[in-house]
Each structure stands twice: as C-alpha cells, then as structure tokens.
Structure 1
Amino acid sequence: MWAFFQHLSFWDWLALGTVLLILEVFGAGGYLLWIGMAAAAVGVLTFLLPGLSWEWQFLLFGLLSIATALYWWRRQRTATRPSDQPHLNLRGQELIGKTFVVHEAIVDGRGKIKVADGVWMARGPDAAIGSRVRVVGQQGAILLVETTE
C-alpha cells in the first residue's frame, strides 16, 4: 500500500477526478464537482512537478478540496436572492385580487370559477352562474372568493 502512495502519478489523480465527476452526474449537488476539480488540479501539478512527494500531493488535494467546497457552499448561500417574480409557478397567488366569472354556481360555499382558459374550484358565499367574484386567498388548489357588488 505504501508503495502505491510513494509512486502516485498524475494519471491516478486524473482518474480520481474523473470518477468524482462521474459520481457528480448522479446528483451530489455540486460538491463532488469541485472535489473532482481539486483532484484534477493535483494531477496537473503532479504532471508539472513530477518530483512532488505523495504527502504534498495529499496535502494539496485536501486543501484544494476544502477551499473549493467552501467556495461552492458560499456561492450557493449568496446565490439565493429574492426573485423579481415571487409568484412564479404559484398561479393561485397571482390571481389574488382579480375578478372572475362564476362558471359553476357556488352552492353551500363550493363552486367553480372561470380563469382564462381553465376552471378553478372556488370556496366562498353562494353565487349564481355568470356572477362576478374576486379572489381573496388560496387554500391549496381552491381559490377563496368573495362576491363583488
């Protein structure tokens, strides 16, 4: 085992980097990408400096792995900034405050309203077909409405 460590070549580091990058494809969230890049960087350094001892190779790999993982963690943490479209993919939230026509009469608090080319389930005061209601909230896939006079 020690003989293997004492004769590490740049091919060993490039192979490790390749394996880590392949594992990243299966969903490691970016961390194996950067550790694989650290292994590849050590491989390049080992190619450029063939006399580099295995202790220095492992030390460089460890330091580069930690540095790149911290870089990725910090970048991920600061990349989450507020969206300029906070209701994107929250269709019901986009509808709050808008007025629509009752498609299926609201009876005993339940009915349906026509929204663009679709129909949404609605909960609110009784309303006849064709009357107008305003969306005031959302509970899951059900819009909460109130009648408009």
Structure 2
Amino acid sequence: MMAYLQNLSYWDWLAFGTVLLILEVFGAGGYLLWIGLAAACVGVLTFLFPELPWAWQFFLFAILSVLTALFWWQRQRSAAKPSDQPGLNQRGSELLGRQFVLHEAIVGGRGKIKAGDSLWLVIGPDLPAGTAVKVTGQDGVLLKVEALQPQG
C-alpha cells in the first residue's frame, strides 16, 4: 500500500475525482462535488509537477477540499435572501389575528371554525358553537383561539 501511495500519478487523482463526481450525481447534495473538484485540481497539479511527494498531494487535497467547501458555503449564505412571501406553504398563518364564529363547539379543548370554504380544527377553552373567537396562534394544523368576549 505504501508503495502505491508513493507512486501516485495524476491519473489516480483524476479517477478519484471522477468517481466522486459520479457519486455526487446520485444525490450527495453537493458535498462530493467540491471534494471531487479538489481531487481533480490535485491531479492537474500532479501532472504539472510530477515529482510532487505523495504527502504533499494529500495535504493539497485536504486544503483544497476545505477551501472549496468554505467557498461554496460562503456563497450560499450570501445568496440566501428573505422571502417576499414569508407565509408561503404555511397553511393557516394567514388566519392569525382574524375573527371567526365557532362552527362546532370546543369540547375538551378542541372544536372547529369555518374559514372560507374550509373547516379548521381549533384548540382553546371550552366554548359553545356560535361564539365569536379570534385566532391567536398555530400549532401545526391546529389553530389556537380565544373568545372575543369573556363568557359569563
């Protein structure tokens, strides 16, 4: 094994980089892309400097892998911008703060309201059907409600 490591050629690095890039195609999520490119770069450097010792080849591979990954991480962070539609794909968030009438009484902490053409499960204090409520929060698919006027 040591004899093989001491005689690494640029073809070995290019083959390693190619294998990593092929594995990336199968869904590594971008992780192997940068390591594969680092291996290809070491292959090019080994072609240009054929007497480069194997220890330096591995050192360059490690440094280039980290640098390319950090470069991509930094680029991804700077490219991320807040959405102009923060409630997108968060059903029910548009109902926060709105008032509704209970469609079904809240019994045991659970009931239903009708919002548009949909029925929504609600949680809150036990209240009879027909009570005006305000949506105060959301817990997954459950809307948290409270009575508009205190019940007497």
1:62 aligned residue: 62
Contact 2:9 2:50 in 1 (8 A): no
Partner Cα separation in structure 2 for residue 118 and residue 96 of structure 1: 15
TM-score with structure 1 length normalisation?
0.71
The code of the aligned residue for 1:53 comes to L
The code of the aligned residue for 2:31 comes to Y
1:15 aligned residue: 15
Residue identity over aligned pairs, in percent, reads 63
Bigger drift between 114-123 and 26-35 goes to 26-35
Partner Cα separation in structure 2 for residue 116 and residue 26 of structure 1: 44
Contact 1:30 1:72 in 2 (8 A): no
1:120 aligned residue: 120
Matches within 5 A, 1:30-49: 30-47=30-47, 49=48
1:72 aligned residue: 72
Give how far 1:59 is off: 3.3
1:99 aligned residue: 99
**Does 1:137 find its partner at 2:137?**
yes
Give how far 1:107 is off: 4.4
The code of the aligned residue for 1:42 comes to V
Partner Cα separation in structure 1 for residue 115 and residue 40 of structure 2: 54
Bigger drift between 91-100 and 68-77 goes to 68-77
Contact 1:102 1:128 in 2 (8 A): yes
Partner Cα separation in structure 1 for residue 127 and residue 62 of structure 2: 68
TM-score with structure 2 length normalisation?
0.70
Partner Cα separation in structure 2 for residue 44 and residue 117 of structure 1: 64
Change (3 A) 1:105 1:137: same
The code of the aligned residue for 1:21 comes to L
Contact 1:6 1:53 in 2 (8 A): no
Give how far 1:78 is off: 4.7
Change (3 A) 1:52 1:109: same
Contact 2:123 2:144 in 1 (8 A): yes
Bigger drift between 20-29 and 51-60 goes to 20-29
Q: Which runs of 5+ in 2 are unaligned?
A: none
